[in-house]
Homo-oligomer: A and B are copies of this chain.
Amino acid sequence: MDAIDLNIIELLRGNARLSYAELARQVGLSAPAVHERVGKLESSGVIRAYRAEIEPESIGLGVTALIEIIEESAADTDDVLESFRAIPEIESCYFMAGVESFLLKARVGTIGELEALIVRLNRTPGVASTRTGIALSTKWENRPQPVGTPPA
């Protein structure tokens, strides 16, 4: 993992569909060389996936909500997690420090669907209570930050 790898990563975060030839030109190596580097980054787990970023409204997901979950004191966190994982509307799931164990980012089509989701979450075994905030608009999301090797 050297400066060239970081360079490749930065380029692919900006545009995952760049060809190997184009990557090669930009980092100053040959195409097979970057091909091999990218392969290693993928198999070592540094590159997790390549995803198209879609405007959510256009696929009927106009409502974004952030939901904090407070667990019951006797809850099994792993079981709760598995329940959440089975709910497709939950796009992100963070395990948090603090009273609220989880923070979920969910996307649904309508406020009605959000209501159904919240009911479902509150009924989930191990969940004591929820607190939901609705995003009126998403200013930006998953903006890649420049990769400068951080201070030692």
Contacts and interface: CB of A to CB of B under 8 A. Distances in A.
A67 B104 CA distance: 14
B140 A85 contact: yes
Interface size bracket, A side:
35 or more
A145 B61 contact: yes
Chain copies in the assembly? Answer: 2
* A51, A110, A146, A150 — most chain B CB neighbours (10 Å): A51
B142 A92 contact: yes
A38 to B, nearest CB: 9
Interface in A107-150: 107, 109-110, 113, 133-147, 149-150
A91 to B, nearest CB: 5
* A9, A14, A17, A136 — most chain B CB neighbours (10 Å): A17
A59 interface: yes
Contact of A94 (B6, B49, B61, B135): B135
Nearest to A68: B133
Contact of A46 (B54, B92, B109, B135): B54
A150 B89 CA distance: 12
Contact of A95 (B84, B139, B142, B147): B139
Interface string A35-60: 00000000001111111111100111
Nearest to A137: B95
A66 interface: yes
